[in-house]
Structure 1
Amino acid sequence: MRNKKTSGVFSGLVWTFAERITAQLVLTIVGIVLARLLTPEHYGIISIVMVFITLCNVFVTSGFGIAIVQKKEVDERDYNTAFLMSFLLSLLLYFMLFWSAPIIGNFYQMPELPSVIRVLGLRLIVTSVNTIQQAYIQRTMQFKKFFISTSFGTVLSGIIGIYLAIKGFGVWALVAQYLTNTTVDTIVLSIVGGWHPGRRVSIKKAKEIYSFGWKVLCTQLVFTLGGDIRSLIIGKVFGPSELAYYDQGKKYPALLVNNINTSIQKVLLPALSRKQDDQVALKSTLRKFIKVGMFVLCPLVIGFAAVADSFVRVVLTDKWVSAVPFIIIFCLSYLTRPIESACHQAILAIGKSELVFWIMVAIHVTSLIGTLFSTFVLRSVLWVALFSLASTVVSLICFFIATRINIDYRLNEQLQDIIPAISISLIMGIFVYFLGKAPFTPWIVLLLQIAAGGIIYWGMAKISKDESYLYIRKMVLRKKVVIGSKKILKEKSN
């Protein structure tokens, strides 16, 4: 029975990885095309607007959906009540955003900001539906449906964004892309997901959801503010162009990391929540997720840092070359994100959301101090990014201590789980970086770096018989056997 459950959990992880990889591939291609068509100023405007949208979005998405996933037992009234709470809050936040849009525009002295805020703010209302849909899918472990909805939304929104950029719509191409993505994703998930809002709600259920959800909300709010305050300060002090270089430098490492991270979060919380009373099983699952997450992420992040200069010059063109240092810094900053994310979900799963909140406070107080010092004393956007590394160190220390105390996940075990992937990736990254000095055309150099990086990493993992490599290989072979068996049975039945 346990093997069947474990298989279901990691099957869910496979589908969620597939969803994130598909979204990442499409978004990367779309982002590259749009970066070549639009200017840093266009991206600077949308970056400022997205700070306010994201902050409001935290209230809509972060507490209610996670509370549903974490609960041991849920019924129709739980989903309906959470949806109603989320929807009403999204309406309130949208009207607040609509009213304050001219004030924000005057503060940044950008005439386009108010209208962009008011249109893009409609995402909040759509997201209020989507967040409970996602909670239902997570709860029922039907992760294949995420893949379907995300694929439709990402592809269609990318086509619309590129078309409008070619037609000269500027920042509105980005607005259309963001808004269409969320809307189509929600519509498709409504069709295939199997859950729709009903009339049965409960005040008692609302109190239960609020009791857990407000702690998660506060945690996510602190997390979001810590990142987005930097963008607000950079946009005001250094201007939209500098903000665009900073955000582009952060964007591509974040595409790699957040997609993998989101996959882990979607599958890990419901999986761990079911084992919250069995510490041994919880710890075992946590360690496996960290090992696999680091094995997948490390070569991508370190490899991307090694090819950053070639990537920008070849793919984004020289007008974005100022983003290269930011790409390298954020690759290093995001390197350990699977560890932080997995430990975060484990602590949530045992019901200690307040502990996560205080950890986030410590992390982002460090980050805020670094941001203010870098901006107003050092007067450097680059130092703002560098101080993000300091907050990563604080994050690791806090989560390592928290899991040691609450789950008995010891430091020597933690190091055992992360050092192999980091070591192999660093060796690969050094070789790839120096390969970038080869006297060939930029396109050839970039392709050589990517090919060599993949071969070196996979080869070293195979030779060293890395545990995660063997596990992934076993899962792939098992999947092939299952598919082959089904095919043979189908042929016999015909």
Structure 2
Amino acid sequence: MTGEPTGDTQRLGRTAARGSVSTLAGQLARATVQAISLVVLARLLLPEDFGLVAMVAAVVRIGDVVRESGLANAAIQATTLSDEQRDNLFWLNTVLGCATGAALFFLAPLVAGFYGEPALVEITRWLALTFVLSGIATQYGASLVRDMRFAAAATIEVVAQVAGLVAAIVIALIGGAYWALVGQNLAIALVICVGSAAAAGWLPGLPHRDVSIRPLVGYGLHLLASQLIEQTCRAADTIVVGFRFGAVSAGLYNRAFQLMALPMRQLTYPAQRVALTVLARLQDDKDTFWPFVLRGQTILLHALTPVCSLAAALAPAVVDIVLGPSWAAAAPVLSLLMVAAIFETASQPTTWVLLSTGRTRALFVFTLVTRPVLLVAIVGGSFLGLAGVAGGVAASAVVIWLAGLVWIRRTNAAPAGRLFGAALRAVAAHGIAAASGGLAAARLDLPGPWAEVGVGLGVAVATLGVLALAWPQLRRDLSAVLRSARLLRHPQASDQRREAHQ
């Protein structure tokens, strides 16, 4: 796996590096806005407000998979895509968005009846509008990613988050309660729709009946099937919590989940966006393909695992700082969900490999077999309360990670042993470091949550340094991450140095 890079590969590397810079910068800005949203809205709204919207959002997540139907990824992954095919995909996504929105609108009383919360009728009907807006935006967004215009896509997402936060704060300040969160979702969807259309710079023609999109739809249908199972099982935790324990518990769980998702989504989503774009073009060059996958996994894990591990070890202090003392009951849930986030991050290469090589059927089979594990773990864990649900999510994440390695080894001849070893080193090293930091913070008589986080972080960094000195493979992994970070900061200079040596 040490083939010399070709000119095309180098150009892809430059594009990926520049795209990563733009995407990560955008995600950092987006994460900042979302962090502000978590802090501010947790102090303006009640757990019940978050719980009510979260219960509907869990249903919306499932419907959104139908609305998208895998067609965005189909357009991104396609070797060639004509304007006529793009037009047909646009109209198909728009029709799907309108249809799913109408379905949710009319099913609103059933959603409210399931949870036993009459207020959910109007909440559901307003959130149904997001399907229409997202349906229109789907192919515009896919077009930006396909053209590797990552900066434009990132900017739109950041502006949308800011607009959503402003809308939520204004509505909350005038006493709108849960309507603040509904307004936030609608504002985000509207800005993404308008911004993506404006940035893409094209208007769809009328549907072209003589132009086939059957292969793209076939790709999307396999992806739809797998994502539908995936999102149904992933939404099960909120649905089960809302059904069994009510809106207040659903609100506590939702805020813990959002705290977990904040660091994870800011890196895994852009990493997948860049990885799929590049790997789809490298799929026939296995000497370059697999090192890219391994390097991507290593960078992602060493970026996310220390954050998630420390948050798990210092969960009470983190909840106190971000959400406030009144949310203390969310701390055990956050700790377990952070463990789940680590192993979900380790599972990312499975999705990268199967999607970039067009094996959506293999992804569907994998999802069909493994995601029921998550569902069973959530339902079983619910008998132990909120922490039991979170524990079920964490346990299933470990099982699915291991199963994914076995699956891509079988379907794609992946170097599963190397992927497993690199992931295990990251999890073990950062886990030991974070546990040391958490233990130190707990044993010392510290004046408050900020001091606990400061001491925990200091001890964790020191412990990781000792581990790196004593563990050569870990040291090599960290060096590779640092080299990649320098590449992201100065992609052009790195390419010039490489070319000078050839």
Q: TM (normalized to structure 1)? A: 0.91
- Which of 192-201 and 471-480 deviates more? 471-480
Amino acid at match of 2:253: Y
One of 248, 251, 266 as aligned partner of 1:259: 266
Shift of the alpha carbon at 1:450? 6.5
Q: What is residue 242 of structure 2 aligned with on the other side?
A: 235
CA contact (8 A) 2:440 2:459 kept: no
CA contact (8 A) 2:97 2:132 kept: yes
One of 419, 424, 428 as aligned partner of 1:423: 428
Q: What is residue 405 of structure 1 aligned with on the other side?
A: 410
CA contact (8 A) 1:234 1:242 kept: yes
Change (3 A) 1:23 1:62: farther
One of 158, 169, 172 as aligned partner of 2:179: 172
- Which of 338-347 and 27-36 deviates more? 338-347
Shift of the alpha carbon at 1:343? 1.7
Shift of the alpha carbon at 1:414? 1.6
CA contact (8 A) 2:163 2:187 kept: yes
Q: What is residue 3 of structure 2 aligned with on the other side?
A: none
Q: What is residue 390 of structure 1 aligned with on the other side?
A: 395
Q: What is residue 498 of structure 2 aligned with on the other side?
A: none
Q: What is residue 470 of structure 1 aligned with on the other side?
A: 479
Change (3 A) 1:91 1:283: same
Change (3 A) 1:441 1:60: same
> Is 2:173 the partner of 1:198?
no
Q: Percent identity?
A: 20
| Secondary structure in structure 1 of the residue aligned to 2:172 | helix
CA contact (8 A) 1:306 1:433 kept: yes
| Secondary structure in structure 2 of the residue aligned to 1:178 | helix
> Is 2:445 the partner of 1:439?
yes
CA contact (8 A) 1:257 1:337 kept: no
- Which of 386-395 and 124-133 deviates more? 386-395
Deviations 1:382-403 (A, max 9, x none): 2222122232123112211122
The separation in 2 between residues aligned to 1:126 and 1:256, in whole angstroms, is: 26
Change (3 A) 1:407 1:103: closer
Amino acid at match of 2:391: L
Change (3 A) 1:331 1:77: same
CA contact (8 A) 1:436 1:446 kept: yes
Change (3 A) 1:202 1:65: farther
Shift of the alpha carbon at 1:460? 5.7
| Secondary structure in structure 2 of the residue aligned to 1:277 | coil
> Is 2:53 the partner of 1:53?
no
Deviations 1:404-458 (A, max 9, x none): 1233323431233223322331232023202323323214314514652674478
The separation in 1 between residues aligned to 2:248 and 2:488, in whole angstroms, is: 48
- Which of 241-250 and 301-310 deviates more? 241-250
> Is 2:61 the partner of 1:86?
no
The equivalences for 1:287-306 within 5 A come to 287-306=294-313
One of 289, 295, 304 as aligned partner of 1:282: 289
Amino acid at match of 1:434: L
Q: What is residue 359 of structure 1 aligned with on the other side?
A: 366
| Secondary structure in structure 2 of the residue aligned to 1:436 | helix
The separation in 2 between residues aligned to 1:390 and 1:341, in whole angstroms, is: 17
- Which of 412-421 and 33-42 deviates more? 412-421
Amino acid at match of 1:441: P
CA contact (8 A) 1:248 1:323 kept: yes
Change (3 A) 1:7 1:461: farther
Q: What is residue 314 of structure 2 aligned with on the other side?
A: 307
> Is 2:51 the partner of 1:26?
no
Amino acid at match of 2:178: V
Point out where structure 2 has 5 or more consecutive residues left out of the alignment: 1-6, 495-502
Change (3 A) 1:260 1:480: closer
Deviations 1:181-236 (A, max 9, x none): 12112222222233432335345433222111100001100000001123222212
Q: What is residue 158 of structure 1 aligned with on the other side?
A: 165
Deviations 1:67-96 (A, max 9, x none): 111111111112211110010011111111
The separation in 1 between residues aligned to 2:23 and 2:463, in whole angstroms, is: 23
Q: TM (normalized to structure 2)? A: 0.90
The separation in 1 between residues aligned to 2:182 and 2:176, in whole angstroms, is: 10
- Which of 254-263 and 420-429 deviates more? 420-429
Point out where structure 1 has 5 or more consecutive residues left out of the alignment: 486-494
Shift of the alpha carbon at 1:242? 1.4
The separation in 1 between residues aligned to 2:162 and 2:486, in whole angstroms, is: 30
CA contact (8 A) 2:30 2:158 kept: yes
Amino acid at match of 1:340: S
CA contact (8 A) 1:216 1:353 kept: yes
The separation in 1 between residues aligned to 2:112 and 2:450, in whole angstroms, is: 45
The separation in 1 between residues aligned to 2:216 and 2:328, in whole angstroms, is: 47
| Secondary structure in structure 2 of the residue aligned to 1:169 | coil
CA contact (8 A) 2:408 2:416 kept: no
Q: What is residue 144 of structure 1 aligned with on the other side?
A: 151
CA contact (8 A) 1:261 1:337 kept: no
Amino acid at match of 1:473: L
> Is 2:42 the partner of 1:35?
yes
| Secondary structure in structure 1 of the residue aligned to 2:79 | coil
Q: What is residue 492 of structure 1 aligned with on the other side?
A: none
Shift of the alpha carbon at 1:338? 2.8
- The size of the alignment, in residue pairs, is 483
- Which of 289-298 and 426-435 deviates more? 426-435
Shift of the alpha carbon at 1:355? 1.3
Deviations 1:312-364 (A, max 9, x none): 12331222111111111111111022332222121122221111112112222
Amino acid at match of 2:446: F
CA contact (8 A) 1:161 1:173 kept: yes
CA contact (8 A) 1:64 1:213 kept: yes
The separation in 1 between residues aligned to 2:211 and 2:229, in whole angstroms, is: 28
Change (3 A) 1:479 1:168: same
Q: Which segments of structure 1 move beyond 4 Å, counting only runs of 4 or more?
A: 457-465, 475-485
The separation in 2 between residues aligned to 1:288 and 1:468, in whole angstroms, is: 9
The separation in 1 between residues aligned to 2:373 and 2:492, in whole angstroms, is: 50
Q: What is residue 491 of structure 1 aligned with on the other side?
A: none
The separation in 1 between residues aligned to 2:379 and 2:457, in whole angstroms, is: 41
The separation in 1 between residues aligned to 2:73 and 2:105, in whole angstroms, is: 27
> Is 2:110 the partner of 1:108?
no
Q: What is residue 247 of structure 1 aligned with on the other side?
A: 254
Amino acid at match of 2:409: R
Amino acid at match of 2:479: L
